[in-house]
Amino acid sequence: AEAQLRQIQKMEAVGQLTGGIAHDFNNMLAVVVGGLELAKRKLHDHAADAERHLDNAMEGANRAAALTRRLLAFARAEPLLPQAVNPDTLVRGMNDLMDRTLGERIRLEVESVAHPWSIWVDRHQLENAILNLAVNARDAMEGEGKLIIRTSNVALAADEVGESLPGDYVRVDVTDTGCGMSREVLDRVFEPFFTTKPVGKGTGLGLSQIFGFVRQSGGEISIASAEGLGTTVSLYLPRHHSGEDADQDSAAPRPEVVE
Ligand code: ADP
C-alpha cells in the first residue's frame, strides 16, 4: 500500500508538471502563431507593422525554446563535469555577460574576501547558476539597483547550512537591492515550477535547478530575504583540496541567458 501511495503521488506530480508545461507552452505558441498571422496579412503594404509582428513571434518562439532547454536540462540532469575552479576568476570572467544581462541602471560589484580557495565543481553549471541568480535579481530590482557578488572562505559545521557536511567551503553570495520575498514565497522557491512571474516570463525552474546542482556538487544553498529591502542567495561550494591549481582558463563557452 505504501508503494502504491507513492506511485499515486508520483503520478499526481507528473500530471501537475505536464499541465503546467502544456499551459505555458500553449501561451508561447499562441504568441508565435498570432504574430505570424498578423505579419502575413500586412506583408505587402505595411512592412513596419509586419516586422513588429514577426519580432513578437520570434520572441514567443525564443521563450518556448528556452523553456524546452530548461526542461531538458532539468529532466536529463546533465552529468556534472567537475573540475578545479577558481571562483574569483570565474565570477570576474562573467563581467561582460553580467553587464549585458543587468542593463545600465544596475550597478555590479564583485568582491572577494581574502583569496578564495579553489572549488571542485562543473564550471559551466556554476556560471549558469550565477547567471540565473543575476536574472532573478534584475527582475526583483525592476532594472534599477545594486548587485553584489561576494566570494569568501568558510568552514561549516555539520548541518550548519542545510545538511552540510563539516568542512571547508567557498561561499558565493549574490545580493540584490530588490523587492525581497515574503515568507510564503521563500518557503516555496525551490519547488520546481513555482514562480510569481507572469506566464511566459518565469518558468519556476531556476532555483530548483540551482538547488539540484549545488547539492549534487556536495554543496549547500541558503537564502536570506527581507521584503522591500532585498535578497541574498548564498551558495556553499566544497573546497578543492588537491595540490593542483585551479584552471585559470575563462575562455570556456558562455552560457546563454535563459529567463
Ligand atoms: P523564476 O525566476 O522562473 O520565477 P525561480 O525558481 O528562479 O523561477 O524563482 C522562483 C521565484 O522566487 C520567483 O518567481 C520569485 O518570486 C522568487 N525569487 C527568486 N529570486 C528572487 C530575488 N532575488 N528577489 C525576489 N524574489 C526572488
Helix (H) or strand (E) holding 63: helix 47-76
DSSP annotation of 253 reads: P
DSSP annotation of 202 reads: B
Question: CA Rg, the chain, in Å?
Answer: 21
Is pLDDT of 223 > 60? yes
**What Å distances lie between residue 7 and 14, 74, 158, CA to CA?**
11, 21, 33
| CA-based nearest residue to 234, from 222, 225, 216, 226 | 222
Ligand 1 center–CA 107 separation, angstroms: 20
Q: How confident is the prediction for the chain on average, in pLDDT?
A: 86
- Cβ–ligand 1 distance for 231 under 6 Å, the answer yes
Ligand 1 center–CA 21 separation, angstroms: 18
pLDDT digits (tens, 9 = 90+) for 57-78: 888 888 888 877 777 766 666 6
Is pLDDT of 44 > 90? no
User: Which pLDDT does position 202 carry in this prediction?
Assistant: 80
- pTM for the structure as a whole: 0.73
| CA-based nearest residue to 102, from 149, 66, 59, 135 | 135
- Cβ–ligand 1 distance for 238 under 6 Å, the answer no
| CA-based nearest residue to 56, from 163, 200, 172 | 200
Percent of the chain whose pLDDT exceeds 70: 84
User: Which pLDDT does position 249 carry in this prediction?
Assistant: 45
| CA-based nearest residue to 149, from 107, 115, 114, 104 | 107
Handedness of CA 110, 112, 118, 119 (dihedral sign): negative
Q: Which atom of ligand 1 is nearest to the CA of 197?
A: 14
- Cβ–ligand 1 distance for 128 under 6 Å, the answer no
- Cβ–ligand 1 distance for 133 under 6 Å, the answer no
Q: CB–CB of 79/54 below 8 Å?
A: no
CA angle 233, 213, 254 (to 5 degrees): 85
Where does 130-258 show beta strands of DSSP type E? 145-156, 167-176, 220-226, 230-238
User: Which pLDDT does position 77 carry in this prediction?
Assistant: 61
Q: Which atom of ligand 1 is nearest to the CA of 204?
A: 8
